[in-house]
Amino acid sequence: MYNSHFELGHVALNVRDLELQSLFYQQVLGLKVLSQSPKQIDLGLEKNTLIRLIQTEQKDEVHHSYGLYHMAIVLPSREDLGTIFRHFIDNKIPLQGASDHGYSEAIYLSDTEGNGVEIYRDLPQV
């Protein structure tokens, strides 16, 4: 078994509407376009790609989600979580819930194609 430290690099999402999804992640989460081609957009912060959007040829309206339940983005503080929550409320971003798990506090929403997004912060360890 591999026991060394590792990190998740980025999430790759197949999307039907590349531009609409890109706008969602820019306007709602504040991500920046780091690189772009006709069928792919990398979004993130500074030089760190967090989400890669890949244009799919699937045009039907049926959305099935068998693998990815949601992606989670961790914020460093409760103040940061409050700031993004205020941004969501001020911009009338539909939220699907919020939770205090006892070890973290989280806000849940979906992107324009129904992919779940969790924004959370870990509670300080006692």
Which domain-ending residue is among 58, 79, 97? 58
The whole-number pLDDT of residue 77 equals 94
The whole-number pLDDT of residue 62 equals 60
Place of tokens 């849940």: 108
Q: Cα(95)–Cα(29) distance, rounded to whole angstroms?
A: 13
pLDDT in tens, 54-101: 998 866 666 555 567 789 999 999 999 999 999 999 999 999 999 998
Output the domain CATH number for residue 92: 3.10.180.10
Does one domain contain both 35 and 85? Answer: no
Does one domain contain both 9 and 43? Answer: yes
Report whether pLDDT(3) > 60: no
Q: Are 41 and 18 in contact (CB under 8 A)?
A: yes
Which domain-ending residue is among 16, 39, 58? 58
Does one domain contain both 74 and 110? Answer: yes
The whole-number pLDDT of residue 4 equals 61
> What is the residue range of 126's domain?
69-126
**CA 77 remoteness from chain centre:** 17
Does one domain contain both 8 and 47? Answer: yes
Number of folded domains that form the chain: 2
Residue 64 domain-assigned? no
Residue 77 domain-assigned? yes
Rg (CA), the chain: 16
Residue 101 domain-assigned? yes
The whole-number pLDDT of residue 110 equals 95
Q: What single-letter DSSP state applies at residue 74?
A: E
Is residue 106 very low, low, confident or very high in pLDDT (cuts 50, 70, 90)? very high
Place of tokens 């924004």: 119
pLDDT in tens, 13-61: 999 999 999 999 999 999 999 999 999 999 999 989 999 999 988 666 6
Residue 27 domain-assigned? yes
Q: Is 62 exposed, middle or buried (0-12, 13-18, 19+ CB in 10 A)?
A: exposed
The whole-number pLDDT of residue 57 equals 80
Q: Cα(87)–Cα(59) distance, rounded to whole angstroms?
A: 32
Both tokens assigned to 118: 């969790």
